[in-house]
Amino acid sequence: MDNNTSKTFSNIASGVRLDVFLNEQLTDFSRSRLKQLVESGSIFVNGKAATKAGQTLKQGDEITITMPPDQASTLVPINIPLDIVYEDKYIAVINKPQGLTVHPSPTSSEPTLINALLFHLKSLSSVGGVMRPGIVHRLDKNTSGLMVVAKTDTAHNSLSEQLANREIKRQYIALVKGNPKFDTKTVDTYITRDKKDRTKFKATSLPKDAKHAITHITVLDRFDAGSRNHPSHYALLQANLQTGRTHQIRVHLSYLNLHIVGDKEYGVKLSKTREAFYSAYNIKGQLLHSAFIEFAHPITNKLLSFTAPLPDYFQDFLTHISHPKN
């Protein structure tokens, strides 16, 4: 089904959910895309706009889908250097640098990863809309590492389904300030927006207006980079995502009182001395790196795995705290 078209269905079985019916009829659409269509008022049940994707249908109901018109894209290709780890006709795997925002936002006019993708790749999927072509999942601006990008709509829908079914494996490396009292730990909470700061999120035990979030954490190494009188503990962690919520790892580590080095949003306020110390090692954001990703190729179903080494500034800081000069 193309944009700028309308289609009506009347072969409705009683008791079926609207989203289940739509998923069966529109096989080229991801579940998230179908939900977007409902939320945008593009799905009608008996002439009235549907309000819930999970509403129950009854025999005799008539479903009409009116695709919204295409929007004109204002995005332009920009020659921003990209580390393309893998590419074929359907997907690309990118090692995103720290400091590069993934997609445009109303509050920023800075170049984004999408501008770079438009320059370097011949095609990008349209499932995410004109402002987020090809973007299946995202990384925070100051988080570096691996992302998979969809070049066709079919690939995008397959990858989105794998994400929804928790079939894509993602491992992150983080350096935190502190000495964890565990070697391995699973953080299982809900995550909701922080009412005091709507740009941030927080962990909560209450499911209301929150999303379930699970992170599996392993301590890889511990560092005692200070002196007896001025101890300074760090820990290198591996975080495996079971769910993928916005800022999930940063929120969960902050919840454990383990703040990622360089994280200005979820970290603690730094003294001028420590701020200068981090600056000397070119730390401009959180030391959080998407180091590993594994998924089934959306067309061939072949299992693909990719790794990305730590950025130089991250490795340099690790070397310093492993062998402190003072």
The answer for 145, left when phi > 0, alpha when psi is -120 to 50, beta otherwise, is left
Length of the chain: 326
Enzyme catalytic residues? 140
Please give the single-letter amino acid code of residue 124: L
Cβ(126)–Cβ(118) below 8 Å: no
Helix (H, G, I), strand (E, B) or coil at 129: coil
The first and second tokens of residue 185, run together, are: 């730990």
* Residue found by looking up tokens 């809900």 in the block: 190
Cβ(40)–Cβ(49) below 8 Å: no
Cβ(91)–Cβ(158) below 8 Å: no
Q: In the chain, at which residue ranges do the beta strands (DSSP E only) sit? A: 6-9, 43-45, 48-49, 63-66, 83-87, 91-96, 144-150, 169-177, 184-194, 197-204, 211-224, 233-241, 259-260, 288-296, 303-307
The three state secondary structure string of 15-81 is CCEHHHHHHHHCCCCCHHHHHHHHHCCCEEECCEECCCCCCECCCCCCEEEECCCCCCCCCCCCCCC
